[in-house]
Structure 1
Amino acid sequence: MEKLIDRLSAVVAEAFSAAGYDPACGRVTVSNRPDLCEFQCNGAMPAAKQHHKAPLVIAQDVVDRLQDGSVFASAEAVKPGFINLRVQPAYLAAHLEQMRQSERLGVTGERKPRGVVLDYGGPNVAKPLHIGHLRSAIIGESIKRIYRYFGDNVVGDIHLGDWGLQIGLIIAELERRKPDLPYFDESFTGPYPEEAPFTISELEEIYPTASARSKEDEPFAARAHEITFAVQQRRPGYYALWRHIMQVSVADLRKNYDNLNVSFDVWKGESDAQPYIPPMLEKLKAEGVLVESEGALVVPVAEEGDRKELPPCILVKSDGATLYATTDLATIVQRMEDYHPDKLLYLTDKRQSLHFEQVFRTARKGHLVPPETELQHIGFGTMNGKDGKPFKTRAGGVMRLETLIADIVTYVTDKIRENQTVPEDELDATARCIAIAALKYGDLSNLATKDYIFDLERFAAFEGNTGPYLLYTIVRIKSILNRCGGEGDWAMAPADSESAKALQLELAQMPDALQMAYRDSAPNVICAYAYELAGAVNRFYHETRILAEPDKQKQAGYLALIRLARRALEECIDLLGFSAPDRM
């Protein structure tokens, strides 16, 4: 379905052409002065240079050809050559009726959908999720949904940290505590127990203990390094323990991500990339880009014209150890073989920007990806407390993600109880629904690259630019529609008030907003649009007698309008990764 702005532009372009001017000058935009007009065209100014005429004369020539009233209620030429436009209510209503009848409210997908691998999540196994994992999960989930909405084939990969020293530390500590376990008996021939010799709670206690011990106990640290190497060589006992760690950790991670309404298509990690490292290094050598430097193997990635110094990408240290860059490049090779994607997108803390610049340049220089494959890193900012510093617990530690969610749910539950609007049997589900909306919208409404202040009271407010405000607007519409018979056969009608037309115009801009969010991988654009739309809904509600309107035809038009608004808002919040309750 053609967007309203494109339809209007086509009409104005035809008027330019009919007046003897370049139709390319007929591009229409949303007015930056809504008090004067709804849309505007500034094409008379560039046309004046082409035709050596005053812009105002050209604008008037065009306006004279827009007076039939079929599309525009008014068209006016104003100094120095602007064309101010107001759309005809009947034309606008007909456009919205087409939106109403279309499957996705007039939003069209891409003609050439892309294959995309989206790398987000990135937790280490055997550690609890904390708030540092929040932004990648929330932003990544929304971008995944936006891309799929426009037809892209997206593979979301959690990319677990499952192959590093933390595994050796855990097993070394377990060996110290329970040396009689069969995993440490080299003469044991198996089979090993199916049940892990630890719970997730024990595992989460073992790692920090082992990490602290390794800083003070050199023999213990050396043993952890030995075990890490043995795991990577798949020594049976240690490898069996690694599998237990993975099983217990992944089950806990799935539960916590489910609480955030975040999901991944594949649960791969650094371990999956290990078989690809040797051939990848050989390819880089064959390409002539991998060189020796002080005993290490590196790829120089600095280029002429760089504004800042870019150090070489180290792939193998002098002691033979590989690094994150090595694993990331091997993972690129794996993903190209498995999925042949058009785009690889990574979401991490913006402090990793240099790392990904090095990795991407290495991948390009070594021809690990075709030239047309897009490599993008979105580096996000920090979630800070009211003091402007990274968010911490009251004790000063990093807060666990499940603790943060529980705190928000408790806060929202208390607010709902005060208002006494939700039955007790719906309270838990409703509170969780609102809490997730508060958390996600509070994050996504900010530009991803910027730091932001986490303010629970503001994020969970039912008024203002918040997730609960959007939910409250949807719930209000649901209530009205239910009292009028649910889903009646209501058709869109021309607006009969300023607030009705403002709402219709806001709805007509939905395809443009979603297209921009898709183009820029920017969920904050959808947040901004949804907030404006909710505001237009509530202004219309407060100024219009919907339920008390005696004229049934008029009322049907109102109901069709707010029902379309509900669909648009629900579409937006689904793309943001949350949903609305029936009551709140």
Structure 2
Amino acid sequence: MKKIMEQMAEELSAAFEKAGYDPSYGKVTVSNRPDLCEYQCNGAMAGAKAYHKAPFMIADDVVAQLSDSRIFSRAEVVKPGFINLDVKPEFVAEYMNKMAEDEKLSVETAKNPKTIIIDYGGPNVAKPLHVGHLRSAIIGESIKRIGRFVGHKVIGDVHLGDWGLQMGLIITELKHRKPELVYFDDSFTGEYPAEAPFTISELEEIYPCASGKSKEDEAYRNEALEATHLLQQGKPGYMALWNHIMNVSVTDLKRNYANLNVDFDLWKKESDAQPYIPDMVEDMKKRGFAYEDQGALVVDVKEESDTKEIPPCMLLKSDGASLYTTTDLATIVERMKLFQPDEILYVVDKRQELHFIQVFRCARKTGLVNPETKLSFLGFGTMNGKDGKPFKTREGGVMRLENLIADIDEEMYRKIVENRSVKDKDAKDTAKIVGLSAIKYGDLSNQATKDYIFDVDRFTSFEGNTGPYILYTIVRIKSILNRYVQEGGDLSTGKILPAVNASEKNLMLQLSGFAAMVENAFEEKAPHKICAYIYEVSNAFNSFYHETKILSEEDQAQKESFLQLLQLTRRVLETSIDLLGFSAPDRM
């Protein structure tokens, strides 16, 4: 199904051609002055130089060709040469009906579907998720959903940090606390216990304790470094402990991500990339890319066009240990081998940009990826408190993600109970659904690359540009539709008729922009564009609702038309919030 703007542009292009001008000037945009017109074409302004003609003369010639337009009810020239356009209500209604019949609501499936891996989440095992993990998880999840909706094969990978010093620290602390455990007995040859010697809460206490000790006690740190080395060499007892750490930690991570309605296709880990490192490093050395510099093994990645210093990409430290850089490169090797992706997108804190410049350049220079494989970095900004500093607890510590979610749910529960709109037994469940919308919409409505203020009071408000406002609009539509059915009405009959007032036409025009918006949101990896769109649709619907008697309309055909438009509006809004990663309750 062709987008509404494409159909307009086709008619404008034909008019330019009939008037003797290049049809490429027939581009149409939404009017930046909605008080004057609905759409506009500025092609005559662009063509003036090429044709040595005043733009208003070109515009006059074009408008003369639109006198019997199928689409436009008004085409008017405004000096110095803009063409102001209004659309026929009949054409818009026809488009609405076709859109309602389309399972994808007018969004065309990609003609050349790509395989895209999104690396998002990225938590370290044995540590609780905190607010710093929020943005990667929900931005990545939304981009994954948008990509799938437009027809690409999108694979989400959590990419767990599981192979660094943190493991050595945990093993060392466990050895100090419980030296009698069989994992530390080098003479033990039996089967290791199936049950972990710690719970998730104990594990989450052990790591910070060990980390603190290692900063103050050099001998302790050296012991942890040795434990890390032995683990990476495959020491049986340490490998058994590592498996326990992974099982306990990943189970908890999955629970926390499920609470955010975030899920991953792959639960790959840094350790999965380890087998690829030796051959990768050896190959880079053989082909002359990798060389020693002060004992470390590096690859030059600077380019002549660089305006700032880009240091060499380090593969191995002087003691032979690998780094994040090495693991990320080896992970690219693994992904190319297993999936042959067309694109690998990393959704990571923007402060890691230099790291990814080095990794991407090294991967390209050494041929780890095909020339046409796209490596992309979406660096997101910081989530800050009202003081403009990174979001903290009242005590000044880093807030656990599950505590933030609980706080938001509690605030939503309080507001829902105050409204007395939902029975007590349902209020808790409803609060969770609305609370998730507050968190996700509050974050995703900001451009990903920018820092933003996480304001609980504003994000949980039922008014303004918030998740709860969007859900409230959807619930209002559901309520009207349900009442009609309860009164014996049939929602499967009727079709959308031309708009009877300006607010209805405005709602239709907003809905008609859905396909272009989704495609643009995917192209630019920009969930905030979906948020901006559904806020406009919600405002347009609420204006229409307040100005129009829907259920009390006496003309049955007109009433059915209104209800079909409501169903289409609900579908567009519900599809959009699903792309953002949350849903709407039936009541709130």
TM-score by length of 1: 0.99
Name which of 552, 555, 560 aligns with 2:556.
552
Counterpart for residue 272 of structure 1: 272
Aligned residue for 1:484, secondary structure, equals helix
Name which of 512, 519, 524 aligns with 1:520.
524
Residue 245 (str. 1) matches residue 245 (str. 2): yes
Counterpart for residue 508 of structure 1: 512
Displacement of 1:52 in angstroms is: 3.0
The amino acid that maps onto 1:492 is I
Counterpart for residue 581 of structure 2: 577
Displacement of 1:22 in angstroms is: 1.7
Residue 370 (str. 1) matches residue 374 (str. 2): no
Deviations 1:85-116 (A, max 9, x none): 11000011101111010011100121111111
Counterpart for residue 342 of structure 1: 342
Kept in 2: contact 1:300–1:312 (CA 8 A): yes
CA distance in 2, matches of 1:506, 1:402: 37
Counterpart for residue 51 of structure 1: 51
Kept in 2: contact 1:117–1:343 (CA 8 A): yes
CA distance in 1, matches of 2:50, 2:340: 47
Residue 457 (str. 1) matches residue 464 (str. 2): no
Name which of 515, 540, 550 aligns with 2:544.
540
CA distance in 2, matches of 1:561, 1:191: 65
Counterpart for residue 199 of structure 1: 199
Displacement of 1:189 in angstroms is: 0.8
CA distance in 2, matches of 1:69, 1:27: 16
CA distance in 1, matches of 2:425, 2:237: 49
Kept in 1: contact 2:39–2:84 (CA 8 A): yes
Counterpart for residue 496 of structure 1: 500
CA distance in 1, matches of 2:440, 2:45: 44
Displacement of 1:69 in angstroms is: 4.9
Counterpart for residue 480 of structure 1: 480
Displacement of 1:490 in angstroms is: 3.0
The amino acid that maps onto 2:345 is L
Displacement of 1:373 in angstroms is: 0.4
Displacement of 1:53 in angstroms is: 2.8
Kept in 2: contact 1:69–1:88 (CA 8 A): no
Kept in 2: contact 1:503–1:533 (CA 8 A): yes
The amino acid that maps onto 1:71 is I
Deviations 1:230-259 (A, max 9, x none): 111111111000000000000000000000
Q: What are the ranges of 5 or more consecutive residues in structure 2 without an aligned counterpart?
A: none
Counterpart for residue 533 of structure 2: 529
Kept in 2: contact 1:105–1:568 (CA 8 A): yes
Aligned residue for 1:561, secondary structure, equals helix
Displacement of 1:286 in angstroms is: 2.6
Mean Cα displacement is larger for which, 461-470 or 278-287? 278-287
Displacement of 1:298 in angstroms is: 0.4
CA distance in 2, matches of 1:550, 1:47: 51
The amino acid that maps onto 2:473 is T
Residue 439 (str. 1) matches residue 432 (str. 2): no
Residue 6 (str. 1) matches residue 6 (str. 2): yes
Displacement of 1:308 in angstroms is: 0.5
- The 5 Å alignment of 1:1-150 reads 1-150=1-150
Deviations 1:15-63 (A, max 9, x none): 1222222211111111111111111111112333333332222211211
The amino acid that maps onto 2:253 is L
Counterpart for residue 219 of structure 1: 219
The amino acid that maps onto 1:559 is L
Kept in 1: contact 2:168–2:228 (CA 8 A): yes
Deviations 1:181-230 (A, max 9, x none): 11111111111110001000111111111111222222222211111111
Residue 382 (str. 1) matches residue 386 (str. 2): no
Aligned residue for 2:345, secondary structure, equals strand
Aligned residue for 2:77, secondary structure, equals strand
Residue 393 (str. 1) matches residue 390 (str. 2): no
- The 5 Å alignment of 1:172-183 reads 172-183=172-183
Aligned residue for 2:127, secondary structure, equals coil
Kept in 1: contact 2:491–2:563 (CA 8 A): no
Kept in 1: contact 2:491–2:560 (CA 8 A): no
CA distance in 1, matches of 2:281, 2:82: 61
Deviations 1:362-414 (A, max 9, x none): 00111100111000111111000000000100111000000000000000001
RMSD: 1.0
Aligned residue for 1:249, secondary structure, equals helix
Deviations 1:504-534 (A, max 9, x none): 1000111111111010000001110011011
Counterpart for residue 157 of structure 1: 157
Residue 293 (str. 1) matches residue 332 (str. 2): no
Aligned residue for 2:35, secondary structure, equals coil
The amino acid that maps onto 1:322 is S
CA distance in 1, matches of 2:245, 2:336: 28
The amino acid that maps onto 1:85 is L
Deviations 1:532-573 (A, max 9, x none): 011000000011001111111111111111111110000110
Aligned residue for 2:577, secondary structure, equals helix
**Percent pairwise identity:** 61
CA distance in 1, matches of 2:86, 2:217: 76
Displacement of 1:305 in angstroms is: 1.4
Aligned residue for 1:396, secondary structure, equals coil
CA distance in 1, matches of 2:556, 2:462: 32
CA distance in 2, matches of 1:139, 1:361: 25
Aligned residue for 2:220, secondary structure, equals helix
Aligned residue for 1:346, secondary structure, equals strand
CA distance in 2, matches of 1:186, 1:524: 55
Q: What are the ranges of 5 or more consecutive residues in structure 1 without an aligned counterpart?
A: none
Deviations 1:125-151 (A, max 9, x none): 111000010000010000000111111
- The total of aligned residue pairs comes to 584
Counterpart for residue 352 of structure 2: 352
CA distance in 2, matches of 1:70, 1:112: 32
The amino acid that maps onto 1:521 is K
